[in-house]
Amino acid sequence: MPKWSLRKLTAEDFAAFKTWCRGLVARLKEQFAAYRAKAAAGSGISITVRPERVSAWISFVLLLLIVFLATTWILRVARVVFPAQVSSKGVVFYEAASNQRVATLFGEKDFDPSRLVLRGVVITGTLHDANVGVALIEADGKPAETLEVGDMMSPGIRLEKITPDSAVVRYRGRSYELQQSLAGGAGR
């Protein structure tokens, strides 16, 4: 497929296009004359060229040309960037241009482990050398939630493991240890 490039058209370009169009019309006239001659000779081919049919075909071709040029210019003006590759997640048409995370643009705050307070731990047993039980975790001063190991809290925080005096939570791949606080202190 040829690669199109936009450049300024010169008078020579228009003259060459005009010459090409005249040659095309001349060839079409020759072919129509040959078909008419065969039809008149009785070869079984009868073609009737009506001016309205010719003008309809010319209009159709010009319409296609206009649609092509309009699409080309719209894409040029809009500067649509097509992705170089497709990942397993699909086609990525836009990536953030700065280091600022997109989530913060929509009001999400950065994770601060001091917003979590471990209010209590209840260990009910062990399974594969890991404690099994529940932890009471308070987030942003809201009432404490009871979480079993593996459960998630509202902003995507997962309880990973518990010990008699602490709990480990995971948020976006990072682990944070919370120390038990009965008097309202913050976790670390």
Tens digit of each residue's pLDDT (9 = 90 or more) over 111-138? 677 788 888 888 888 888 888 888 888 8
* Partners of residue 163 on adjacent β-strands: 166
- Tell whether 185 is covered by a domain: no
Express as a percent the part of the chain with pLDDT over 90.
12
Model pLDDT, residue 67: 95
The domain boundary, picked from 56, 78, 100, lies at 78
CA angle at 155 for the pair 175 and 119, rounded to the nearest 5°: 65
9-27: string of b/e by CB count within 10 Å (b at 16+)?
A: eeeeeeeeeeeeeeeeeee
Model pLDDT, residue 66: 95
pLDDT at residue 149 tops 50: yes
Q: Which residues contact 157 (CB under 8 A, 6 or more apart)?
A: 111, 116, 139, 169, 170, 171
Q: Whole domain around residue 22: which residue ranges?
A: 11-78
Model pLDDT, residue 16: 85
- Tell whether 31 is covered by a domain: yes
8 A C-beta contact, residue 140 and residue 130: no
Tokens of 100: 């600022």
Q: What's the structural domain count of the chain?
A: 2
pLDDT at residue 43 tops 80: no
Lowest-pLDDT choice from 28-42, 71-85, 90-104: 90-104
Tokens of 154: 């509202």
- Tell whether 89 is covered by a domain: no
Write the DSSP symbol of residue 125: E
- Tell whether 104 is covered by a domain: no
- Tell whether 152 is covered by a domain: yes
pLDDT band at 12 (very low <50, low <70, confident <90, very high): confident
Distance CA 185, CA 118 (A): 9
8 A C-beta contact, residue 117 and residue 187: yes
Q: Which residues contact 122 (CB under 8 A, 6 or more apart)?
A: 133, 134, 135
Model pLDDT, residue 145: 84
Tens digit of each residue's pLDDT (9 = 90 or more) over 50-96? 788 888 899 999 999 999 999 888 877 776 555 555 555 555 555 54
Secondary element (H or E) of residue 1: none
- Helix residue ranges, H only, 51-168: 51-78, 102-105
Instruction: Quote the mean pLDDT of the chain.
Output: 76
Distance CA 82, CA 94 (A): 10
Q: Where is pLDDT greater, at 165 or 77?
A: 165
- Tell whether 55 is covered by a domain: yes
Model pLDDT, residue 60: 93
Start-to-end Cα distance in the chain:
62
The domain boundary, picked from 78, 97, 125, lies at 78
